[in-house]
Amino acid sequence: MAEDNPGAPRLRISAYRDNAGSLPDIPEAWVAHRERAKVLAEVVSESGAFQVVDAGDFNDETRTHEFAEAILEIIQHPAAQVALSAAAVYLLKVLTKPLDKKVEEAVGYLYDKLFSAFRKKRIGEFFITLPDGQRIRVDSNCDVEITVRDGKLHHLKIDTLPAPSSGP
């Protein structure tokens, strides 16, 4: 666990194991559980932008947990010159404004890293919850659901997102 940085914005990331639903004690569940923990460690170490406040069940060595959540503090902007994918740029446009620039960059960075891990079957369905409660969810079919501040849902098909210059 990390020290608290009063006022630092926090994001919650939640992810299923890639083989969610499998028996918890089979070797494949342990492999998937540990792979998901590696993804969290990579996201934090590669960006230099996050401090883990609570790793939740990501690193549990006694049970595999189908679902795990972690809380990350944004301690600085993600690594310099991070180029966000067109999908991340578009998703950020759907979120209710105004968002702090550091939060926006961190969310885009997390989305790209987690979606890449999802595509490579390193994690299963995942969620990113913003400090203001807005949430991005990517389900097992690559469908994206964004819940904005007023509770309104936006459903997007990740493979058919409009170009980043167009609006939601």
Q: Rounded CA gap, 149 and 127, in Å?
A: 16
Please write the tens of the pLDDT for every residue from 77-88: 886 556 888 888
A 10 A CB-CB count for 32 gives 23
pLDDT tens across 114-134, in order? 999 999 999 999 999 999 999
- Token pair of 28, please? 């494949």
What pLDDT score does 3 carry?
53
Task: Enter the tokens of residue 14.
Answer: 């939640």
Q: What token pair was written down for 122?
A: 């390193």
- C-alpha distances in Å from residue 112, one per residue of 86, 89, 155: 10, 10, 18
Residue 80 has a pLDDT of 57
CA quadruple 9, 93, 77, 67: dihedral, nearest 10: 60
Which segments of the chain have a pLDDT < 50? 1-2, 163-168
Secondary element (H or E) of residue 67: strand 67-74
User: Side by side, which strands form the sheet with 143-147?
Assistant: 50-54, 67-74, 10-16, 126-129, 135-138, 143-147, 153-157
Confidence at residue 19, expressed as pLDDT on a 0 to 100 scale = 82
Amino acid 166: pLDDT: 41
Per the document, the length of the chain is: 168
